[in-house]
Amino acid sequence: MSLHPGDGNNDIERGNSIGERGKSIVSLSGFQGMDEYTALQRYIVSYRDPRTNPKEEQVEEKKKPWWAFWRSSHKTSQASQSTAGEVPEEWLSTTLGQGLSSTEVDIRRKKVGFNELTSEKENMLMKFLGYFNGPILWVMEIAALLAAGLADWVDFGVICGILLLNALVGWYQEKQAADVVASLRGDIAMKATVVRDGGETSILAREIVPGDIVVIEEGQSVPADCQLICDYDSPEDFETYRKLKQEDKFHTEGDPDDEKNQSDADEDEENPITVGHSIVACDQSAITGESLAVDKYMGEIAYYTTGCKRGKAYGIATVSARTSFVGRTASLVQGAKDQGHFKAIMNSIGTSLLVLVMFWILAAWIGGFFRHLKIATPTDSSVTLLHYALILLIVGVPVGLPVVTTTTLAVGAAYLAKEKAIVQKLTAIESLAGVDVLCSDKTGTLTANQLSIREPYVAEGQDVNWMMAVAALASSHNLKSLDPIDKVTILTVRRYPEARKILGQGWRTEKFTPFDPVSKRITAVCYLGEDKYTCAKGAPRAILNLSNCDEQTARLFREKAADFARRGFRSLGVAVQKNDGDWTLLGLLSMFDPPRDDTAQTIIEAQQLGVPVKMLTGDAIAIAKETCKMLALGTKVYNSEKLIHGGLSGTTQHDLVERADGFAEVFPEHKYQVVEMLQQRGHLTAMTGDGVNDAPSLKKADCGIAVEGASEAAQAAADIVFLAPGLSTIVLAIKIARQIFQRMKSYIQYRIALCLHLEIYLVTSMIIINETIRVELVVFIALFADLATVAVAYDNAYSEERPVEWQLPKIWVISVVLGVLLALATWVIRGSLFLPNGGVVQNFGCVQEILFLEVSLTENWLIFVTRGGKTWPSFQLVIAILGVDAIATIFCLFGWLSGGPQITNPRDNFVQREDGWVDIVTVVVIWAYSIGVTIVIAIVYYLLNKITWLDELGRKDRSHKDPAIENMIAALGKLALEHGTDKHGVERYVLATRAVEEEEDE
């Protein structure tokens, strides 16, 4: 097992290096001026865990002026996409000592935009106008034009007001949520050091432009694709760089995969020439998957987001992030404009409502023809064919549906942002609510991403303090960028005071050799006085081969190493050689990445939510199984080789993925395959990732999650970016997403029922008694319905205990029942007005205002029914509903917009006032009646949800298995088209078995 921190299979170390990218581990200013071992001693004593005492670097940004309320907190360049990738050659001729001027930087940024992978922000004006676009909104706009054509200017004004109000509310709420998310993006912003105006300055990496002189330093991420110029301590080599560049010996385009196959004997003129020793070494494992850091020479490209593992150098930024190698990779998964499942659901509901409203208009017109109604006259009456159409268009299409759902999602996104989860696509919330499988990383998600050394094994006759001191000597002492193994080795010395005394005896390091993949060890040549000590640590077998110990010592050493592996520990051998004598075997260090404190409980909670966790890790299978045991996750963990080279295919392969608790030794392509197979079985899958190669699988997943410390490419491909570590954040996000889903579902049920209520009542009243509610009052009913329910976004909601689904058939059945009940209730109160005593009328009243108040009250209170009774409504929702009820009551009392008394057949027996006023006692009776109607509807709603077959109606099978199709696809995957010529010389294409590629033995 490889122990190198850059090993692609070493998930812990790799994850840690990414997770700590750009963070200050400990204040290093206090170590300046100290010698190596004095600084090391102080580091051991003063180190504090950044998770318990974070000290994040803050970079000031200009605040927007108070008056510029429409601006976003983070401006994004509106650079032309057509020229974003074109970098003139003269831009790459910056002088090393001077760098670019501030003026030149501004000019270049206008042409290429900011150096980031995130997409350009939308134009705020165009986004606002977008709230007037869509099938539902088009219907309301047609209604406004129809009102204008009928000279109903009050109706025209109110309809336009409804459209404008919905657009303003939706635009403002989404902008507010976006600003909250944008304010948190600073927490994941990469920093960089550049040369500008003759001096070095620290900036955000997004502010780099092509031609900037960038300082690339050990322990930091490369902030842009940079062509290396020279070593930081040898600026005089800049002239050599310029000379070779003029001779066209370098190029600024390359593929990091090519570098893996280059050998010293391969002299390809197209590759950059190597001058002298390597300047830096970069960890490109996140791009290419290779485990070793790649040496970089003058003129070669250091790729954006890769980590510098050794050295310090100057480089010149050659392109912006979007046109860098990583940017081009990320763009491959960003090209598709996916409308998403949520958009499809909204379109389905909107289309169904449009069809229904056309049906009701047709029915109303047929009734009007029999009654010989005119098309638009009399002008002062609502009883005309065009007024019927106008009324039904207004009530039959919920103009607030797109805005309320968008607002609900936007407010939810802002809430998730406060919980350190940045939502990059609002519809991802709906996807997350329905997720039923979570594929999770082990390192940093299930585990603490902090290696710890358990009780070491000390060879017979050796001292544990001497062994720990030797292990610390055989470690990098560059405190700015310690790799995880060296870091934990050095910090463990804190537990051994005698080892610290040994380190304080005046050691001097002459030579340090980082991990060598051939020898599989790290070595350091150190001096104590006149004595020379060669210290080594590395793979147990490699360390054992160094020594000439007796067979018994070697056997005990091997047995202990095997025991550590069985228990899931990484083992690290330690040996020392004094004055070129024999190597002495000192013992073994046992390393372990412990599970997070909250992981076991969180996994139980996830399983209770109907979301089993599948662990995907690059660690060895023994370590993966041991971690699963600790977390009670299940031990059906398989080697990833079984997925591709295990001889499985079709249904058998899908069964393996569905049955497994996890896979070990995975690469990014394995993650993609696991996600794809789960989706083929009907599962909604969430996946976590952190590297560039994870981008395709993050995009493939129904909800891609970039974990804390993920690379920018992974963040750009993901739907949600987490700033907090661990699995508990994911489970919390699932609960919040389900609450948001519940708000939307309750609103949609409510809004469909409202449409059906008025359509059923108004069309039947048009046909039976040739009466309708005046169009002026109808538009206010529609306005009140939208005003009251915008507050649904802030309502208290409950989280379902299982993955949620829209279950549209169930929604329609319940909504139809509720709509019919509401229509019957309105007919009851209308029918009572034909009674000799006037029914609900106590003293005096008006049919139009009585119907208006009853419809407004029962419709407004329906939201309290559809939201369910598991939580109390929020005060925002209660205040909004009561406010609208108060306005509707005032309308009724004072007869606003009631018009004159209408004569119906049969006639009403009570006396209607000409001014439309209704007495206060009658209003109280209408309130009491409406409360009774709401109670009856609530009981019916409760009983409907208790019916088992209705509760399961529309719920999809989350484990859809189709062996015939799966096996057929697997069989087709083994075939290929072969082109050949038969004996008659005729060219033919034939199906043949695909040739199995022979794998190189590594």
Catalytic residues: 441
Helix ranges, 186-321 (H) = 238-246, 256-260, 285-288
Q: Supply the Cα-derived Rg of the chain in whole angstroms.
A: 36
- Determine if residue 839 is left, alpha or beta; phi over 0 gives left, psi from -120 to 50 gives alpha, anything else beta: left
CA distance 347 to 773: 29
For residue 313, give the 3-state DSSP assignment.
strand
Cβ pair 78, 120 in contact under 8 A:
yes
In the structure encoding, which two tokens stand for residue 259, read together? 């570098």
Distance CA 913, CA 890 (A): 16
What are the C-alpha distances in Å from 554 to residues 215, 467, 468, 471, 590? 48, 17, 20, 19, 17
147, 156 Cβ separation under 8 angstroms:
yes
How far is the CA of 509 from the CAs of 403, 527, 665, 731, 954, in angstroms? 67, 6, 36, 48, 71
- Classify residue 296 as exposed, middle or buried by CB count within 10 Å of its CB (0-12, 13-18, 19+): buried
Q: What gap in Å lies between CA 841 and CA 847, rounded to an integer?
A: 9
The C-alpha atoms of residue 614 and residue 445 are separated, in whole angstroms, by 12
Q: Quick count: other Cβ atoms within 10 Å of Cβ 69?
A: 9
Q: Which two tokens stand for residue 483?
A: 């790799």
Q: Quick count: other Cβ atoms within 10 Å of Cβ 889?
A: 20
One-letter amino acid at 781 equals I
Nearest CA to 578 out of 519, 536, 515 is that of 536
Give the DSSP letter string of 111-148: HH--S-SSPPPPPHHHHHHGGG-SHHHHHHHHHHHHHH
Among all chains, which residue has been given the structure tokens 């020898």?
A: 519
Which pairing describes strands 685-689 and 703-706: parallel, antiparallel, or unpaired? parallel
CA gap 423, 417 in Å, rounded: 7
C-alpha distances (whole Å) from 669 to each of 224, 537, 644, 666, 693 are 25, 32, 10, 8, 8
C-beta separation of 464 from 456 below 8 A: yes
Residue 663 bridge partners (DSSP): 616, 638
Measured distance between the N- and C-terminal CA atoms of the chain, rounded to whole angstroms: 13
* Residue 679 to residue 685: CA distance in whole angstroms: 7
Question: Nearest 5°: CA angle at 947, between 941 and 953?
Answer: 100
Distance CA 529, CA 508 (A): 9
Report the DSSP beta bridge partners of residue 195.
200, 213
